[in-house]
A and B are shown apart, each in its own frame.
Chain A
């Protein structure tokens, strides 16, 4: 009896190890892309590359102008000129729109990506997954983007919109009131009530990087505060009538109103747990808030 018990104990001890070794055999290694460099427009750039490659590789676009593309899974591209897009048209296709200027009508729902090769207008109340536009893109009010939207020339966003994970443009990204975002990139990103004003006098000039907890700076409309370096804080950052040459970074909340960050010669960032942009804000570069905590007040 005791021999059986000992055998059982021995077997119970060895068995899990032998089993785990067999089950874990094979190759599994965390991959690193040695060529990776950070790009705030990464989703859109990568998407365009894949679509363009698929279209180039397709020896001839088939009769119904359908091309296959490998994104995270196999997808189909519907390529050509369209009169209108509706949900019922080709619900499982990525649209590549070749019209010189195209309008997505009010209330359209499209659950796949859209790629407009020229200008694009998105009317009120649309619900779209992801949009790439090689021209100028205008979004009207109350539009919901689930993943990302990117326009090469410019992106103008009306009020009450949700821009998903990334809203970006190589050119100007202009935002009206009551929008929600996670990440923005534009050169520059501007908000409603924008004034291009030059200043000769400043109420205070801070010569270097500011590192305080919290940071609250307020200049006047005619004499703003001028910060020549970056601003970092573990607490909230609140700026009104301020010009900042460098990056603004807070582990908590950031509020900006009548503020210029960066310059045409220097790309910078505004990053915080929550980021609220008020009127007349101009940021040359990148804005990031934690998911759903970015808004245009």
Chain B
């Protein structure tokens, strides 16, 4: 009996190490593709006078610090006014968000506010209510702390001229990258994640991901498939997989760049990571077999789709792996090969695992032409351990959501740090 348990424990270590190696190879391929591979042409290059009608949704909950900035920028957007509307969604705000929105709505007839002071709270619920009043064929979403440039609406909307495009995602860049160590590290993560990872997935015709902001989708597809699931915290990942398993594709638009405000506080970041992990893993439980069975996906798309679904599961598996190694050690059954595995797992995950894609970040900073910040790469090891803990907590929450089907979900809003208006 004891022998079987030890065999299982050793087998588990081998499996985790194998998975780590798989992610490392994946990141290496993506970095190679961005450095030396053929870059796929963009829909964003299209210039056409006939553009789809667009509704821009801005979910807001107590956003008085940032609301004026985004509304000013959306008012100035370069898009035909007869095909454009902005819907700020005021979701149970207790500060001056309502007054700010109403002031803009009085001045501009294409701003149609939605004030929600009853019903379920949270982004998916707010979006579902807004979808009922949306006039445009295409829905674009910007979080309230984002600063959309003048041309970005056109740059995103033009992707939908191709009928098989179901959703589009732009590039996110932290405006407060220089604020402190955390924002610098997040800036590096974003750089690798968008400039390399997302773009390579687009180049290789795999699964670029819709990220819930600086992007959008076709209204009809979402309504026909039941709107947003209000019990899923990662409505963006859910939408990505819904699109792919329904026969549509998600496009990544690298040139549609938009500034966001990255968390400046480790506690806020921890809550954000936990929420993302919980939401992403909820989607994993929901779509794992749907992806495998889908008739619309190629073999490589299924493979990448599964790896992407498991991204927030791996850190939890890794922490269990470390525990597994400790047990083996105290059982006295850790032989000469085991420490090699310890090192292997540690190295693969700390250095090149699924959340510390060093190749990608180094490649991304080089493409962006900003090379000074790449010197912070060693710090990503700390970031990885930090993320790993909160991702694991998020995973277990998602697991409980899966087991207790009707569990109530509370939306945890990310705190804003902006102290002054950045748009004049």
Residues of A within 8 A of B (CB): 16-17, 20-21, 23-24, 26-30, 32-38, 40, 209, 211, 230, 232, 246-247, 249, 251, 265-269, 271-273, 285-286, 288, 290
8 Å CB contact of B375 from A23, A249, A265? A23
The B31-56 residues at the A interface (CB cut-off 8 A) are 40-41, 43-50
Q: Are A24 and B372 in touch, CB under 8 angstroms?
A: yes
Instruction: Report the stretch among B154-162, B223-231, B238-246, B405-413 that lies at the interface.
Output: B154-162
Q: Are B378 and A34 in touch, CB under 8 angstroms?
A: no
Question: Can you report 24 A-B residue pairs in the complex whose CB atoms are below 8 A from each other?
Answer: A20-B376, A20-B379, A24-B372, A24-B373, A28-B178, A28-B370, A28-B372, A29-B173, A29-B177, A30-B257, A32-B257, A32-B259, A34-B150, A35-B150, A38-B151, A209-B163, A230-B48, A232-B161, A246-B48, A247-B48, A266-B48, A267-B49, A268-B47, A269-B46
8 Å CB contact of A269 from B45, B164, B258? B45
Q: Are B149 and A33 in touch, CB under 8 angstroms?
A: yes
* Top 3 closest pairs, chain A to chain B, by CB: A37-B151, A24-B375, A23-B375
Q: Are B41 and A34 in touch, CB under 8 angstroms?
A: no
A contact residues around B173 at 8 Å (CB): 29-30, 32
A15 to B40 alpha-carbon distance, docked (Å) = 41
8 Å CB contact of A37 from B48, B150, B163, B375? B150
8 Å CB contact of B376 from A21, A34, A251? A21
A contact residues around B378 at 8 Å (CB): 16-17, 20
A78 to B45 alpha-carbon distance, docked (Å) = 35
Q: Are B149 and A36 in touch, CB under 8 angstroms?
A: yes
Select from chain A the residue with minimum beta-carbon distance to B255.
A38
Q: A34-B149, A269-B46 are in contact. Are A27 and B178 (CB under 8 A)?
A: yes
A35 to B163 alpha-carbon distance, docked (Å) = 29
B181 to chain A, nearest CB (A): 7
A227 to B164 alpha-carbon distance, docked (Å) = 18
Q: A38-B155, A230-B161 are in contact. Are A21 and B47 (CB under 8 A)?
A: no
Q: Are B257 and A247 in touch, CB under 8 angstroms?
A: no
A117 to B76 alpha-carbon distance, docked (Å) = 33
Q: A26-B372, A34-B423 are in contact. Are A288 and B45 (CB under 8 A)?
A: yes
Q: A23-B375, A28-B373, A266-B50 are in contact. Are A37 and B154 (CB under 8 A)?
A: yes
What's the tally of chain B residues with a CB closer than 8 Å to chain A?
Answer: 45
B297 to chain A, nearest CB (A): 15
Interface centre among A24, A40, A230 (most CB of B within 10 A): A24
A232 to B44 alpha-carbon distance, docked (Å) = 14
Residues of B within 8 A of A (CB): 40-41, 43-50, 73, 78, 147, 149-151, 154-155, 161-164, 173-175, 177-178, 181, 184, 187, 191, 257-259, 368, 370, 372-379, 423
Other 16 A-B pairs with CB < 8 A, given A20-B375, A230-B161: A17-B378, A24-B375, A24-B376, A26-B178, A27-B178, A28-B373, A30-B370, A33-B149, A34-B149, A209-B161, A246-B48, A246-B50, A251-B40, A269-B47, A271-B41, A290-B41
Interface centre among A21, A246, A247, A268 (most CB of B within 10 A): A247
A16 to chain B, nearest CB (A): 5
**Total A-B pairs in contact (CB under 8 Å)?**
120
Q: Are A268 and B177 in touch, CB under 8 angstroms?
A: no
Q: Are B150 and A249 in touch, CB under 8 angstroms?
A: no
Q: Are B43 and A17 in touch, CB under 8 angstroms?
A: no
B158 to chain A, nearest CB (A): 9
A37 to B257 alpha-carbon distance, docked (Å) = 12
B contact residues around A37 at 8 Å (CB): 78, 150-151, 154
Q: Are A29 and B178 in touch, CB under 8 angstroms?
A: yes
Q: Are B178 and A34 in touch, CB under 8 angstroms?
A: no
A246 to B163 alpha-carbon distance, docked (Å) = 13
8 Å CB contact of A211 from B47, B151, B162, B373? B162
A286 to chain B, nearest CB (A): 5
Select from chain B the residue with minimum beta-carbon distance to A210.
B163
Q: Are B149 and A249 in touch, CB under 8 angstroms?
A: no
A20 to chain B, nearest CB (A): 5
B175 to chain A, nearest CB (A): 7
Q: Are B258 and A32 in touch, CB under 8 angstroms?
A: yes
Q: Are B50 and A272 in touch, CB under 8 angstroms?
A: no
A contact residues around B163 at 8 Å (CB): 209, 211, 232
A273 to B39 alpha-carbon distance, docked (Å) = 10
A247 to B163 alpha-carbon distance, docked (Å) = 13
A27 to B286 alpha-carbon distance, docked (Å) = 43
Q: A20-B379, A266-B49, A286-B47 are in contact. Are A34 and B162 (CB under 8 A)?
A: no
B54 to chain A, nearest CB (A): 15
Select from chain B the residue with minimum beta-carbon distance to A289.
B41
A247 to B49 alpha-carbon distance, docked (Å) = 10
8 Å CB contact of B47 from A23, A40, A209? A40
Q: A34-B150, A38-B47, A232-B163 are in contact. Are A29 and B379 (CB under 8 A)?
A: no
